[in-house]
């Protein structure tokens, strides 16, 4: 069984989008595909991820791309989201037991409960329980890891982005602990690109070490993969042209104390992680 131990290495989370409309163009649930075909495609993608060195597989059944920057997109009911994601979670748990930890990327408590019931061991909530506190309760009852990500509908920060993200996440952590999630099961994510302009995201990335310290040293997940901020820094590069920029941001995040990096291009980014870890965690 995979046990997450912090400080020894950077853990790589591979993104498995069981959606038809991912911003990054890698959604598996393309129109006309049957459940069996979707599960088979997810298993194939996961095999490549695990072979390359990913230790966490993050399955999402609803696109969470920010409407402010990517336009409105259809909401997905809990029933439809579960129908897409839960069979994939169950298949990955069976296929990779002892090799990888399976995570459910959802802001809906009912979806989290179904996924945890099939063996998922992490809930990755992009609203940190703000959309549905039952995600937090589900994680607490299952003894699962819980990722609390900062999010916001509109990218406005009158008191400064760093102060608000730090305060917001501190409050989310307190709520989760009050709901029964042990502190050693919590992971925080500053939500790069979520409710943030590229300038906001750059400030947060620049101050990651400071943010981790402000949050009491809790494990930090950073997701920059193919994000808009990378495209902006590369002069308007499309999502499929952001690999090298993603690699640079991953290396810098590791240097600043990131414990988990969430990525699409696992094989390529794994090389970045190994080199960054070899330097950052070097001991004479």
The set of catalytic residues is 227, 262
Q: For residue 188, what is the enclosing H or E element?
A: strand 186-189
CA-to-CA dists, residue 131 to 64, 68, 104, 126, 206, angstroms: 12, 17, 16, 9, 28
Separation CA 139–CA 160 (nearest Å) = 31
Burial of 178 (0-12, 13-18, 19+ CB in 10 A): exposed
> Facing residues of 221 across strands?
260
- Residue 101 backbone class (left: φ over 0; alpha: ψ -120 to 50; beta: rest): beta
Q: In terms of residues, how long is the chain?
A: 284
How does strand 11-17 pair with strand 56-60?
parallel
The residue among 52, 67, 41, 66 whose CA lies nearest residue 14 is: 52
Torsion (CA) 11, 251, 126, 76 in degrees, nearest 10: -90
CA-to-CA dists, residue 219 to 187, 211, 256, angstroms: 5, 11, 12
Separation CA 34–CA 40 (nearest Å) = 10
């Amino acid at each position: 069984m995979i046990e997450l131990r912090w400080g020894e290495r950077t853990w790589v989370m591979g993104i498995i989008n069981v959606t038809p409309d991912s911003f990054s163009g890698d959604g598996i649930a393309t129109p006309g595909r049957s459940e069996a075909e979707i599960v088979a495609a997810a298993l194939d993608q996961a095999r490549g991820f695990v072979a390359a060195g990913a230790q966490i597989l993050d399955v999402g059944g609803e696109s969470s791309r920010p409407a402010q920057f990517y336009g409105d997109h259809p909401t997905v009911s809990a029933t439809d989201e579960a129908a897409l994601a839960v069979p994939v979670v169950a298949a990955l748990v069976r296929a990779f037991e002892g090799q990888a930890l399976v995570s459910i990327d959802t802001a809906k408590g009912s979806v989290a409960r179904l996924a945890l019931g099939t063996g998922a061991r992490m809930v990755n909530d992009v609203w940190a329980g703000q959309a549905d506190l039952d995600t937090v309760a589900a994680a607490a009852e299952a003894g699962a890891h819980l990722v609390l990500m900062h999010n916001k509908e509109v990218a406005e920060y009158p008191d400064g982005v760093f102060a608000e993200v730090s305060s917001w996440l501190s409050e989310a952590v307190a709520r989760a602990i009050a709901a029964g999630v042990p502190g050693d099961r919590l992971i925080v994510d500053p939500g790069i690109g979520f409710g943030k302009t590229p300038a906001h995201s750059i400030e947060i990335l620049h101050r990651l070490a400071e943010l981790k310290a402000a949050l009491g040293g809790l494990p930090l997940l950073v997701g920059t993969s193919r994000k808009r901020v990378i495209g902006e820094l590369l002069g308007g590069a499309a999502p499929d042209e952001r690999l090298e920029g993603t690699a640079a941001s991953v290396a810098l995040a590791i240097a600043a104390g990131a414990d988990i990096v969430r990525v699409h291009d696992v094989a390529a980014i794994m090389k970045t992680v190994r080199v960054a870890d070899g330097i950052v965690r070097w001991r004479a």
